A and B are shown apart, each in its own frame.
Chain A
Amino acid sequence: MSRIFYTSALVLVVAGFATQPALAETPNEMLASIQKEALGIPGFSGFSTTRGESFFKTKHGNEWSCASCHTDNPAAPGKHAKTGKVIDPLAPSANTERFTSPKKMEKWFKRNCNDVLNRVCTPQEKGDVLTYLLTVKK
């Protein structure tokens, strides 16, 4: 009897987790998942704030850099380079919603890397940028 109870309780708990939308994560957890990806690449030796900052602020062959919309200060609100629509701050210190949804992060890295570099970003580049963003104070 009690075994049946435990099993059904377990099933219920598992089902509860499964129906949840992607669980919110912290920016540090997101960074850890990028790092896990990067570790598979030969020669990887960690992320760098300076590299991330310079990547963020420089153009990479296209019209826009990350900073074109997010500005040179990621803790400040940005502005869409084309439509002018206000973009909430990107640095987690200024906007606690940033880097808490893996789905959202993937969506925007895909879009923005394509706009800025005409390709996907490497785990190294993503990790460098997030490491930089995590150091930006409000």
Chain B
Amino acid sequence: MSIHKQKTFRVLAIALLAMGIMMPAAQADDGHDEKYGGKYGGENRGKPVQPVQTNPKFQQECSTCHIAYAPGLLPAESWRKMMASLDKHFGSDASLDAQDNKEITAFLVNNASNRWSASTAPMRISETAWFKRKHDGHEINPAVWKNPQVKSPANCAACHPQAERGNFNEHDIRMPR
């Protein structure tokens, strides 16, 4: 093998190796890598989290005690469980009449996360793998959670002012001081 050929081979080998390292990362990053169970072990929020066409009943009924959490934040099975246990909703009775419950369940299920491949169905958004990763100690100083203006991870709007509209864009985050 000539020196020239050897050099080409080496460059090629390095390039191939580099691709091999980078490819899975790139695949995992766009969240469509079903082979590896998807991003965040398959517990990924949907895209978009809030559908273009919303539902007035959902908006009205689900925003009385807290913001109307976007349907794409949880998988369909979570919403089914949630809507079937509204009389015991995180320590409060939030029951609806049968017709309203049916309409809102359909809206939530139809617009649930489209990137969730795990068989899990958590009841709390803050228990999902994507949420925990995006809000871990590397991303957020633990002191932020203790701020009385934040109070609870359920209070999305404390740092995501446009949470109600389903906008959780990193550029729109405003941490309270």
Contact = CB atoms under 8 A, between A and B. Distances in A.
B154 to A, nearest CB: 7
B93 A80 contact: no
Contact of A82 (B87, B90, B96, B97): B90
Interface string B125-158: 0000000000000000000000000011011000
> In terms of DSSP, what is the predominant structure of the interface of chain B?
loop
A61 to B, nearest CB: 15
Given A103-B97, A107-B97, A82 B155 contact: no
Nearest to B148: A84
Interface residues of B, number: 16
Nearest to A64: B92
Contacts of A83: 65-66, 152, 154-155
A16 B97 CA distance: 24
Nearest to A112: B93
Nearest to A116: B93
Interface of A: 80, 82-85, 103, 107, 110-112, 114-115
Q: Which 6 A/B pairs are nearest by Cβ-Cβ distance? A: A114-B93, A111-B93, A83-B66, A80-B65, A115-B93, A83-B65
